[in-house]
Structure 1
Amino acid sequence: MADKSKFIEYIDETLGKSKETALSHLFFTYQGIPYPVTMCTSETFQALDNFEARSDDIVLASYPKCGSNWILHIVSELIFAVSKKKYDYPEFPVLECGDSEKYQRMKQFPSPRILATHLHYDKLPGSIFKNKAKILVIFRNPKDVAVSFFHFHNDVPNIPSYGSWDEFFRQFMKGQVSWGSYFDFAINWNMHLDDENVKLILYEDLKENLAAGIKQIADFFGFSLTGEQIQTISAQSTFQAMQAKSQETHGAVGPFLFRKGEIGDWKNLFSETQSREMEEKFKEYLAGTSLGARLKYESHCQP
C-alpha cells in the first residue's frame, strides 16, 4: 500500500494531543456540530470554505466508524491498478482534519486526489458541487457504528475513554460525540443520495460480496478494470488482509482501526432497552426514506 509516513506522523501527533485532553475537553462546536479539538480547528474550517476542488477529485464521505479506512484502501488500490503508481498520502486524507495551510499545499498534489470526509453534505466546500466531483457515500448500520465508536475510544491508548458503554450510548444518542449525530448525518445525506454525482455503498454489502462492491466503486469513478484485477484487489482488501498490515499502514492505531469488522457485534453490548431506543430513533429520522430502506435495519439490527 501507499507509503503512509505522513499519514502515520499525523496519527501519532493526534494521539499525543489526545493524551493531554480530558473527555470533557475533547470537543469544540462549529456550526452546531461537535468536532475533536485534537484533529480539527475553526481556522481549518474557515479555510476549507475556499478549498478548490477538482472535477476528478475522489470524495469519500462517511460518518466515523462506517468503513472509511477500508474504502480508502480500496480506492488507492484501484488507482494503483490503473496507473501503476502507488497512491501517496502527502496529507492526512480526512479533508477537515489538519492545519489551515493544508489546502494551499494540496493545490500541488497530482490528480486524482482522494478526499475523505465525515462532514454533512451541506458542510462540504461549494467547489465540490460546482466542479461536479464524484462523491461515494459509505453507510453502516447504526448499532455496529455505535459499538465500533465506543471500542475505538476505550481501546486506543491515549484517546479519552468513556466510563462505560451505557455512558457512551447516551452521548451517541444525543449526538455528543465527534462529528455529531449519526442520524443528523444520515438525514442530511439522504436528501442527496440520488444526485447524479453521488453513489451510496453499504459496509454490510461490501462484507457480503467484496468483489461486486469493488466493481461498483470502480465503475462509479470510471476506472476500467479486468475481472482478474478486481479479484486481486478484493483479495488484498479483505478485513483480514487489512488487519494483518494495519500496523504498517496506520501505525500504532492500526490494530484498533481494524478491530473486528463484524456485522452484528452490537449484540455483545446493547441491552433490550437500548435496542428499543435505537429503533425509535431510527424510525423517527429514517422511516420512509430511501436511505432508511437501503440500510436494511430489520436484517442487521434486530435481535
Structure 2
Amino acid sequence: MSKWLMSKILLVFFHFVVQWNRFRAFVGLLAVKHKTHGYFQHRGLPFTTLLHKKGRVDALMKYDRLRQDDILLLTYPKTGTHFTAEVLLSIYIESGKAPKKTLMNDAIAPLEMDVPQAFSFSFRKLMSSWGGVLSNLDQHPSPRIFVSHLPWNFLPQQIQEGGIKVIHCYRNPKDTLCSCYHFYTKMGLFSRGTSWQNFFYFFLNGTVVYGGYMDWLKQWYPHRNASHVLNIQFEDMKKDLRGSVKDIAQFLNIELTESQLENVVAANSFEKKKAAATGASQVVYRKGKSGGWKSDVTVEQNEILDEWIKAESKGMEEIVFQGL
C-alpha cells in the first residue's frame, strides 16, 4: 500500500472519529437541554443516564491498572469536589508535577462518570473512547488525579486495599442537601417541576443519584483512619485554606516553599474561582459557604434534619459536622 493511500485512509478515519464524537457530544448536550436522561438502579445504587453506564461501573470495580503516583479525590456530590480538585491541581502545578498551563479537564480523570460525552471536547478524551470502556483512564498521562462520587464498596479493590492515596472531602448534610437541589435541578437530573419540598424528602430517603448521603458516609467511615486516606471537611478548607493546602501537600509527600504555598492559596479562594467561572463551571460554583442552608430550609425542615442527622450519625461519632 502506497504512503499516499495510507495517508488518505488515516485522514478519512481521523475525520470519521472527530465527526462521530462531535455527534456523541451533541446528543449528550441535547439530553441536558431537553431533559431526556433519567435514573436507573445498579447494584442497589441510583445512577443517571446522563453520566453513567452499567458496563463502566462494573468494569471499574475490577480495574487493576493503578500507578504508584495516582491519587483519588473521593466525595459525595456537592461536598467540595470541584473546589478541592482545583486546589490539588494548583499544588501539582506549583510543585512542578504538572505543566503550568494544565487545564482542569485535562488534569482530572473521572472514574465512573462518562463526562466527555456531554461536557468535554478534549480530542485525547474523545479518541480514548475507541479503546474500551475504561481506556480514557489508561491513556490519561501521569500523574493521574482520579475523581469519584462512588461509595467505598464500589471502588476498585486496589484502591480499597491502599494501592493509591485517597483524599476524602465531606461537608455538613444541610448545605449538601441545598447544593444538591440547586445543582440537580439546573442540570435537569430532576424534572423542572420538582419542588424543594419533594426534593427534601428524596434526599432524606436516598432516592437521589449515588443514594443517601449518610449511607454513603457509613461506607467510608470504617476506613477513615487508614494510612492511605486523608479526610478533610469543606468547611475547614473555607475557614483555613492555607492549613488545608499544607495538610494535603504533606499527605502527598510534596514540599511547597512559602511562596508556592501562598500562590496556591491566592489562586483558590472560592470567591475568585466563582468570579472566573464560565459556561458549565458556573453551575458548579454557587454559594460555597457554610450555613447557606438557612436561606432554603424552613424551621420545620430544620427540626426534621436535626433528628435525621442525629439518628443517621449513630456509629459515626467521630464526625463533627460544622455549620449546622
Q: Check whether TM > 0.5.
A: yes
1:97 aligns to 2:143 (yes or no): no
Amino acid at match of 1:41: K
Which residue in 2 is equivalent to 1:129?
A: 160
RMSD: 2.4
Deviations 1:97-147 (CA, angstroms, capped at 9, x unpaired): 116935223223332100000011111011223462000000000000111
1:57 aligns to 2:84 (yes or no): no
Which residue in 2 is equivalent to 1:277?
A: 304
**Against the structure 1 CA distance between its residues 224 and 173, is the aligned structure 2 distance closer, same or farther, given a 3 Å change threshold?**
same
Which of 20, 27, 32 pairs up with 1:18? 32
**Structure 1, unaligned stretches of length 5 or more?**
1-8
User: Identity percentage over the alignment?
Assistant: 28
**Alpha-carbon distance in structure 1 between the residues aligned to 2:193 and 2:230:** 34
Deviations 1:133-162 (CA, angstroms, capped at 9, x unpaired): 000000000000111111112345797435
Which of 68, 72, 86 pairs up with 1:73? 86
1:40 aligns to 2:66 (yes or no): no
Q: Please, what TM-score do these two structures have when normalized by structure 1? A: 0.86
Number of residues paired by the alignment?
283
Deviation of 1:281 after TM superposition, in Å, equals 1.7
**Alpha-carbon distance in structure 1 between the residues aligned to 2:84 and 2:190:** 24
Deviations 1:196-219 (CA, angstroms, capped at 9, x unpaired): 101110000011011111111111
Query: Helix, strand or coil for the counterpart of 2:293?
Result: helix
**Alpha-carbon distance in structure 1 between the residues aligned to 2:318 and 2:149:** 17
Which of 283, 292, 308 pairs up with 1:256? 283
Contact 1:74 1:233 in 2 (8 A): yes
**Mean CA deviation greater in 10-19 or 113-122:** 10-19
Which of 95, 101, 106 pairs up with 2:137? 106
**Against the structure 1 CA distance between its residues 136 and 91, is the aligned structure 2 distance closer, same or farther, given a 3 Å change threshold?**
closer
1:133-282 alignment runs, 5 A limit: 133-156=164-187, 160-247=191-278, 252-282=279-309
Contact 2:107 2:145 in 1 (8 A): no
**Mean CA deviation greater in 96-105 or 109-118:** 96-105
Which residue in 2 is equivalent to 1:295?
A: 321
Q: Compare CA radii of gyration and give the structure with the larger one.
A: 2
**Alpha-carbon distance in structure 1 between the residues aligned to 2:225 and 2:280:** 35
**Against the structure 1 CA distance between its residues 117 and 85, is the aligned structure 2 distance closer, same or farther, given a 3 Å change threshold?**
same
**Against the structure 1 CA distance between its residues 11 and 120, is the aligned structure 2 distance closer, same or farther, given a 3 Å change threshold?**
farther
**Alpha-carbon distance in structure 2 between the residues aligned to 1:208 and 1:68:** 16
Amino acid at match of 1:36: T
**Against the structure 1 CA distance between its residues 114 and 15, is the aligned structure 2 distance closer, same or farther, given a 3 Å change threshold?**
same
